[in-house]
Structures are given as structure tokens and as C-alpha cells.
Chain A
């Protein structure tokens, strides 16, 4: 299911383009609306959320999957925390399906998935590790880099228990938008993966947009 937003980027309080291979770390306040735009199409935005009040409480893929009884994320999905609290709710989405099974690429998982000599290619978990190192104010370390969301990725599961990485269902200008239920630290790795045909081996920028809570 897709649903367009009524919000215009011209009224947003914050807009930023995040280049391919870069990270974005920012606090989104309760009530604010947060949009990720897939500027050129079929990019993966690998995203983690933490409670700003208590970063030990964070996005939980397994709690989200189980509580909504579905493996795919879309409009109406509440992104659940490890403490069982809704952190954000997806309120608009022009793509229709997002993945939270596949996790973020790492240099180590690249050696397994593609070839041993891929070990020094930049990967999402490198971006995450650099982000937490450069933002010591949040007190996060490698132990906090957990099972994330891949916005714009399509990872179909079969009834027989198979899992595939399908071509993206996103396209240029498509977006996903969510409202924060609590103050959250957002950590996005704009995926630098050069080995995946899903993005035609071409990582591209995303835009992040934040609107203040409706008055």
C-alpha cells in the first residue's frame, strides 16, 4: 500500500542531502515528521533509531516484525523499541515495502557474501562506526550497532522459507515518512554497497527532511 504525504518540503524546518557512502546522525523530536527521499532511485537507506532519553532503548527489528505480524514495513507500521515502545510510525510512503530482515553491509559480511578480497570496500557498518566515534556525545559504541531498517530495499520471503534480494520497487523521488513518538537519535548509513545489482552498482544520494510538530 502506498500513501502520499500532504506535507511540502518548502515548509520543512530542516533539509539535507546525504551523499552516497556518507552517514547522517541527528535528533528528531517527538511529534516531528521525518522523511527520507530516494533522490535517484533504488538506493538503500540503512537506518537505526535510539531513544534520545535512554539510548540503551533502541529500534528492534524483531519486535517490530513480531508486533505487526509482518516482515515488511509500510504505512501504518509502528517501529518498536527493545523495550516494547513505539518509536516512530510510518505515516506516508510512496514505495509500499521496506526491508528490516537484511541488515547492514559490513566489510566482514562482504567477504562472505561476495568474495574474500572484497574486505576493504566501504560498508554501512563502517559508516555507523565512524558516526558513533565522531559523535561521542551520544555515548554509543560498536555494541549499539544493531539490526536495522533498509528503507527502499525489497527482500521478499517465500512461504517455503527462502529469502531473495529483488530489484528495488523504489524510484527517483520516492519517499517514506514517519512521525516520531519519542525523541529519537536517527543514524542513517546511506549505503555504499558496490556489489549489489539492486542499485545497479551505483550508490546515490538521499535527502532527509524534518517538519516540526503541527502547532
Chain B
């Protein structure tokens, strides 16, 4: 796949069980790195110019005839446009159908840790993390859609039974997202809701921002499926009108 990154603009690392958000400009590449292996990054996307336009997991899956997300896939808004595309991926399988951990789930599985006792080592959950980050932009419970879980693999048996793969990513696994329109990104590093680990999995995630090239005419994410060519055509019209 052609190199789409140049110029490292920013780098940072966020500990497991935390949350953050930013608005990424069209053309930026976000690289996520699973530092130790076994990380999970919950993520949601919104159009900052119209918060009613948001990531749509069912549209993303059905138009690309896929249950998993990996290199070559585009992540669609509910308006038929591409928020970002996966230009590189060394993990191979990311989940977008299992949702989030919740406060009760985390307490039941890993015990309730008080803030007073554990300080910033308390155990946060994905659902509340999205509520906190979303509220900074006027978003609430009604705005939380099905999210992506980067680095988490959940496959199915023939009868539809879900199987969480605890070994799905190794230390150093990375995924590169090229943003094809301006996007508000909410994310957390809380455990995947099906993670069976005995201890609350507190896995750090590094992220880097690069200046990227826009999707060229022969970009594999654009040409991989005729659907994606039409998704990019919708982006083109959007930016013409903007």
C-alpha cells in the first residue's frame, strides 16, 4: 500500500482505562499503537460541523460486506460519507459490534475501586468515558452510537456464537487511520466488554498524528470496492459544497 504519511506532527501516550477526544482535520493520519499487546481503544466519530452526522457501524459493515474492520476499509457516517479509512493495519481484525464496558460490568468483573483509595488507578468504563467526552461537545446518552473497538478481535462460530480472542494483538501492533473529512473523535482505552482477564486490563496506547495525503485516484481504500468509490464521491460533493 502506498505511503500516505509524512511529517510527524504530534505524539503522545495514554494509559489504560482513560479517555480523551480531539477534532482531526481532513488529511490527518492518526496512528494508534498497542504498546504492550492486548489493548482496546473504543472510538466514536462525529462531524464537528453537524453533530447529527455520526459513525454508523451497520452502514460500514454492510456496504463492505464485512464483519471485521481492517486495512482497506472505510468508516462511514450515517450520511453515506467516509470519516476515515484504514490505510495500514498490523493487527488484522477490529471489532465494531460489541459495544462498551459499563460501570456495573467493570464492578462485577474486576471489583469496585474507589477513587479515594486508588486515585487515578480507579477502574473506569467505556460507556461513562464516552458520556464524559461527548458532553464536552454537547452530546449525551441519545448520541452514543455503536462504537469501534480497535485491537479487539471478536469472531463468530457458524451458529453466530461470539468468541473473544484475548491474543488478538501483540505488542507494537498499529493501525493507521487517514481522515477523509474533518472529524470529532471520542476515544477511551477501557477494556473491551468481553475481555475475560482476571485483572482489569490496563493497557497503554500510544498515538501519533501525521500530515497525510488525500486519497489518490488509485488509493486502495477508494478502489477496493465500488461502494467505497461512491463513498468518496459523496465526500467530494460534501467538500465542494462546504
Is the pair A69, B80 in contact by a Cβ cutoff of 8 Å? no
Judge whether A146 is part of the interface by a CB distance below 8 angstroms.
yes
Least CB separation from A113: chain B residue: B63
Residues from chain B with a CB closer than 8 A to the CB of A19 are none
Is the pair B68, A161 in contact by a Cβ cutoff of 8 Å? yes
Is the pair A103, B76 in contact by a Cβ cutoff of 8 Å? no
Is the pair A162, B78 in contact by a Cβ cutoff of 8 Å? no
Is the pair B230, A65 in contact by a Cβ cutoff of 8 Å? no
Residues from chain A with a CB closer than 8 A to the CB of B144 are 82
Chain B interface category by residue count: 35 or more
Least CB separation from B155: chain A residue: A159
B143-159 residues with Cβ-Cβ distance < 8 A to A are 143-147, 155-159
Judge whether B90 is part of the interface by a CB distance below 8 angstroms.
no
Is the pair B162, A70 in contact by a Cβ cutoff of 8 Å? yes
Is the pair B141, A103 in contact by a Cβ cutoff of 8 Å? no
Residues from chain A with a CB closer than 8 A to the CB of B99 are 60, 62-63, 65-66
Which of the candidate stretches B26-34, B51-59, B176-184 sits at the interface with the other chain? B51-59
Residues from chain B with a CB closer than 8 A to the CB of A102 are 58, 61-62
A63 to B: closest C-beta gap in Å:
5
B187-242 residues with Cβ-Cβ distance < 8 A to A are 193-194, 227, 230-231, 233-234
A20-44 interface code vs B (CB 8 A; 1 in, 0 out):
0000000000000000000000000
A135 to B: closest C-beta gap in Å:
16
Is the pair B61, A69 in contact by a Cβ cutoff of 8 Å? no
Least CB separation from A102: chain B residue: B62
Judge whether A116 is part of the interface by a CB distance below 8 angstroms.
yes
Contact of B61 among A66, A111, A143, A163 (CB under 8 A): A163
Judge whether A126 is part of the interface by a CB distance below 8 angstroms.
no
Least CB separation from B105: chain A residue: A84
Is the pair B162, A112 in contact by a Cβ cutoff of 8 Å? no
Judge whether A157 is part of the interface by a CB distance below 8 angstroms.
yes
Contact of A112 among B52, B194, B227 (CB under 8 A): B227
Is the pair B79, A108 in contact by a Cβ cutoff of 8 Å? yes
Residues from chain B with a CB closer than 8 A to the CB of A101 are 58, 61-62, 67, 97
B82 to A: closest C-beta gap in Å:
9
Least CB separation from A125: chain B residue: B78
A81 to B: closest C-beta gap in Å:
11
Is the pair A143, B142 in contact by a Cβ cutoff of 8 Å? yes
Rounded to whole angstroms, the CA-CA distance of A61 and B144 in the bound complex is 12
Judge whether B136 is part of the interface by a CB distance below 8 angstroms.
no
Judge whether A194 is part of the interface by a CB distance below 8 angstroms.
no
Rounded to whole angstroms, the CA-CA distance of A61 and B57 in the bound complex is 11
Extra contacts, 16 of them, besides A62-B98, A66-B97, A101-B67 (Cβ < 8 A), are: A62-B100, A66-B99, A69-B162, A70-B160, A71-B156, A103-B57, A106-B59, A108-B234, A109-B59, A112-B230, A125-B78, A157-B156, A158-B67, A159-B156, A161-B68, A163-B65
The 18 sampled A-B contact pairs (Cβ below 8 Å) are A60-B99, A62-B57, A62-B99, A65-B98, A70-B160, A71-B156, A102-B58, A103-B57, A103-B59, A103-B62, A112-B80, A112-B231, A147-B58, A155-B62, A157-B156, A158-B67, A163-B62, A164-B65
Which residues from chain B sit less than 8 Å from chain A, CB to CB? 52, 56-59, 61-63, 65-68, 76, 78-81, 93, 97-100, 102, 104-105, 140-147, 155-162, 193-194, 227, 230-231, 233-234
The 7 closest A-B CB pairs, nearest first, are A103-B58, A108-B80, A62-B99, A161-B68, A72-B160, A70-B160, A71-B160
